[in-house]
Chains A and B, each alone.
Chain A
Amino acid sequence: MDRFKAVFFEEATTLINELERVSLLLHNNPSDSSIIEQIFRIMHTLKGNSTMFGFYRIGDFTHHFETLYDFIREDKMSVTDNVLNITFASVDHLRVLLTDVELENSVHKINHENLIRGLIEVLNGASVEGSIKTHSSDHKIEDKVSDTPTYWLKFVPEKDLVRKGTNVLFLLDDLSQLGVTYTVSNIERLPDFKKLDPADIYIHWEIYVSGNITENSIRDVFMFVEEDCELEIRKISETNLLDQDGFSTIARDISLSIDEKISKFSGLVNNSSSKNRMEEVRSKIEKANEKSIVTSKDNSISSIRVASEKLDELMSLVSELVTTQARLNLVSDQIASSELISISENIEKITRQLRDNTFSICLIPIENLLVRFQRLVRDLSTQLNKDVVFVSEGTDTELDKNIIENLADPLMHIFRNSLDHGIESGEERVKKGKPAQGKILLKAFYSGNNVIIQIRDDGKGIDPEVIRQKAISKGLITADQNLDRRQIFDLIFLPGFSTAEKVTEVSGRGVGMDVVKRQITEIRGEVEVESVINEGTTINIKLPLTLSIIDGMLVKINATHFVIPLGNVDKCFEAKHEEFVDKINDLIILDGEQVPFIYLRDEFDIKENCPQLHQVVVVKQDDRRVALSVDTIIGEYQAVLKPLGRLYKNVDVISGATILGNGEVALVVDPNRIIKEYIFNQINNEVLQ
């Protein structure tokens, strides 16, 4: 039973998430009947499931909710702000109900009762409103009634039509494409089984078609068999007879001639009241809706849900395969058997494909985060009494699921900041000549091996001078320190720095941009701020595509192997040892260009066995090129990243480790951090001197 309950919880969570997503759609299009229909269905399913598993509180709660949306879809009510607020509150409450089924927490209990009371109040208000609205809604439906004429045709194919190469059933099929059909087969001529020749046709048909068609379009269907059959076509009614009660009884009666049938059909039309027709139209619309839901289900079957542990497991197995592959490569090189080498190369190809494939399975679009932000913007803008619209671009950009999970918190914080401090109140905006409605944009796109996420608002922006003054007053920098624009904005990320002038309910809860930076750094990302006064603030987040495997360049310094991510590598050179020592300005000439270098042996404090000839790896950081010196370059390498663990969390320049084919551990360096740390140390040394 517990297993079933677990399934229920999983399903319920999905349903509630879906409900939240759809409710946000409704918020944007309050009159879209298909959305209302969806909400109703979700509620209906949730109610059914929860009652089935004995979660009566959820069942009871969703029952009221379902009634509310039933009223709305029957046009007894409209989607007001009140309804939307109650919907969102209910979404949150449903989540609470899943964790606190018995409502043991008194706050939850009070909330539960309040919400149900609220729902009932809204429903009571609706019954009055409803009686007035019914009339007009009937009109609406009547407009949709556009009746189509009904044709009757009698199709008697010649006995040997099939032998002439015509499939009669295709003709009937074509006919059914024209409109709604009702086919009556006449099997009077069917002979005794023993005499039956399967290649002969013994059956003929009477077919009723209703649709936006003419007699000619029906004739077209039979164009090629006209001479081999007996065909009679008559228009028997201006309205769709097929929908009338009792139609099929008359149509099926083959003893009646068509003229007799027509007179009987006309009786049907007169009897059916317009009210009946309304019902039919309504049920037809419902059927159509059902159909559309069926098709959307069909679409969803093309993807399946997998427990994330299974993916992690798969990923780690592939990682192991990649490591073992490296080992095979090494061995096959040593043994130097051409057969073994070709096998090893083949396996390498497959491993690479498998790796890329698994890797892409673990990628999910940023869209998955969106609902939360839409919700946040909606709730916060109401709370702060600001009119803010949330726009997103490139939300199909994909990222590793682990990164996405860890991205939610910092992004939430950035959004909160923008809404609270960034975007001004409506009046203030109008005064500045901006539209009263503020805008916050989330934009995601690929950039090389990275994904960039931008959050841009059109608020008041941040004044670099204010930041500078604040940093000076907090003792983070000295008054005579000369910082460029970027360095000033970087100050925001220092611990203990807050741009908020006053602490509000929304922000200033002790979580600052330093925490955002830390969280993003933990997933190997980088964050930057750019801001123009009165035009707005942009926050750029640069993230790696994945956390687990990277393409790298394997290098060696003394006995230690290092991996430099290939995405950073620009070019490789050779240089003499003398070119690195005793240089005053740390520049080396490569390709006739002066390039600043970092002598990694000094940087990493490795003194032993210095070679005469060095290899130089030029890495790109933003727009500049920096040369890193190593002893030897070994070659390209697929590195499965392993964390170094908590003991090494203070070592920034190494972002992880990987295991080589021979079982040794190689260290994955982060060139950006090496460069930053190097510059930082240089500046500190200058200060000391």
Chain B
Amino acid sequence: MSIENLNVSNSYLSFKLENETFAVTVERVHEILEIPTVTKVPKSPDFMTGVINLRGNVLPVIDTRIKFGLAKTDFTIDSCIIVLSIMMENEQITIGALVDSVQEVLELSSEKILPSPALGSKYKAEFIQGMIKNDEHFIMVLNIDEVFSINELHQMKENTSETII
């Protein structure tokens, strides 16, 4: 087995926000947590839910629903936090993404991932890495570096009412 084969992962974790299914590459997923006590930080934008204690470290948690223009997350038994590592201004940081539920891990060959189609003005094309067709459903594979990038977050802060996707 060559090193390249080892590095290329074709596994994706799918999760749900309301009725829409999204996916992120499992390479970037550290773990999935149940919702612990979240401490809200004053003077921070709405979509930043707060901080939690992840084994002695402080982990910022982002409400993905607000980020994607949906209503604030009401916690259910399925709600969870996906711990992701993202690249932000050339630095690797770890964040928690609050989602409604995680679905499954999909093993896919690379040809199953379709290029991101033109989605009209409703979506920002750079957020979508590609599409997966799974049992007649489409899953959007997110480019998480773009979705959670700091510029994006600050833009949100200045203009929280605007829908990003």
Residue among B39, B62, B89, B95 facing the most chain A CB atoms (10 A cut-off) = B39
- Is A651 part of the contact surface with B, judged by Cβ < 8 Å? yes
> Which residues of B sit under 8 angstroms from A605, Cβ to Cβ?
42-43
> What does the 1/0 interface line of B38-78 toward A look like (CB < 8 Å)?
01111110001011110011101010000000000000000
A170 within 8 A of B: no
| In the bound complex, CA of A606 to CA of B40 (Å) | 10
> Nearest Cβ distance between residue B77 and chain A, in whole angstroms?
21
Given the interface pairs A646-B88, A648-B44, the reply to whether A664 lies near B37 with Cβ below 8 Å is: yes
B157 adjacent to chain A (CB < 8 Å): yes
Of all chain B residues, the one with the shortest Cβ separation from A323 is B56
Write out the residue numbers on chain B whose beta carbons fall within 8 Å of the beta carbon of A665: 37, 39, 50-53, 58
> In this assembly, does A680 line the interface, its C-beta being within 8 Å of a C-beta of chain B?
no
Chain B, residue nearest A647 (CB): B60
The one of A604, A645, A657 that contacts B43, using a Cβ cutoff of 8 Å: A604
Report whether A664 and B91 are in contact in the complex, using a CB–CB cutoff of 8 Å: no
Assign chain A's interface to a size class: 20 to 34
Name B39's contact: one of A560, A646, A653 (CB within 8 Å): A560
Q: A579 → chain B, closest Cβ, in Å?
A: 22
Could you tell me the dominant secondary structure of chain A's interface residues? Answer: mixed
- A644 in contact (CB, < 8 A): yes
Contact assessment for B48 and A664 in the assembled complex, using a CB-CB cutoff below 8 Å: no
Q: Are A647 and B95 in contact (CB under 8 A)?
A: yes
Chain A residues within an 8 Å CB radius of B39: 560-561, 657, 664-667
Chain B residues, CB < 8 A from A646: 88-89, 91, 93, 150
* Contact present for B57 and A648 (CB under 8 Å): no
Give, as a whole number of angstroms, the nearest-CB distance from B116 to chain A: 26
Contact of B153 (CB < 8 Å), options: A647, A663, A666: A647
Nearest to B36 among chain A residues (CB) is A663
Interface membership of B154, Cβ < 8 A: yes
> Are the C-beta atoms of B58 and A603 separated by less than 8 Å?
no
A644 near B42: Cβ-Cβ < 8 Å: no
**Given contact pairs A650-B154, A665-B53, A643 touches B58 in the complex (Cβ within 8 A):** yes
Contacting residues, chain B, for A561 (C-beta < 8 A): 39
Q: How distant is B40 from chain A, measured CB to nearest CB, in Å?
A: 6
- What's the least CB distance linking B58 to chain A, in Å? 5
The residues of A that contact B56 with a CB separation of less than 8 Å are: 320, 323, 642, 659
Contact status A667-B41, CB under 8 Å: yes
Whether A642 lies near B58 (C-beta < 8 A) is yes
Contact B42 A654 (CB under 8 A): yes
Residue-wise, chain B 138-163 has the 8 Å CB interface mask toward A (1 for contact) of 00000000000010011001000000
Closest to A649 in B: B150
Residues of A within 8 A of B60 (CB): 644-645, 647-648
Chain A positions within 8 Å of B150 at CB level: 646-647
Q: What per-residue 1/0 map shows which CB atoms of A656-671 lie under 8 Å from chain B?
A: 0101000111110000
Cα distance A665–B61 when bound, in Å? 13
Q: Which residues of B lie under 8 Å from residue A560 when comparing CB positions? A: 39-40
The residue that A645 contacts in the complex, of B50, B89, B93, with Cβ under 8 A, is B93
Interface string of A133-169 (1 = CB under 8 A from B): 0000000000000000000000000000000000000
Residues 83-99 (chain B) with a chain A CB within 8 angstroms: 88-89, 91, 93, 95
Complex contact B42–A604 (CB within 8 A): yes
A561 to B62, alpha carbons, bound, how many Å?
A: 20
CA distance A651 to B43 in the complex (A): 6
Distance from A661 Cβ to chain B, minimum over Cβ atoms (Å):
11
B50 to chain A, nearest CB (A): 8
Q: A31: shortest Cβ distance to chain B, in Å?
A: 53
- Which A-B residue pairs are the 9 nearest by beta carbons? A604-B42, A665-B39, A647-B60, A642-B58, A657-B58, A659-B53, A664-B37, A665-B51, A665-B53
Chain A residues packing against B (C-beta within 8 Å): 320, 323, 560-561, 603-606, 642-648, 650-654, 657, 659, 663-667
8 more CB-based (< 8 A) A-B contacts, given A604-B42, A657-B39: A645-B93, A647-B62, A648-B41, A648-B60, A650-B157, A651-B44, A653-B42, A665-B52
8 contacts between A and B (CB under 8 A): A561-B39, A644-B51, A646-B88, A647-B93, A648-B51, A651-B41, A664-B37, A664-B53
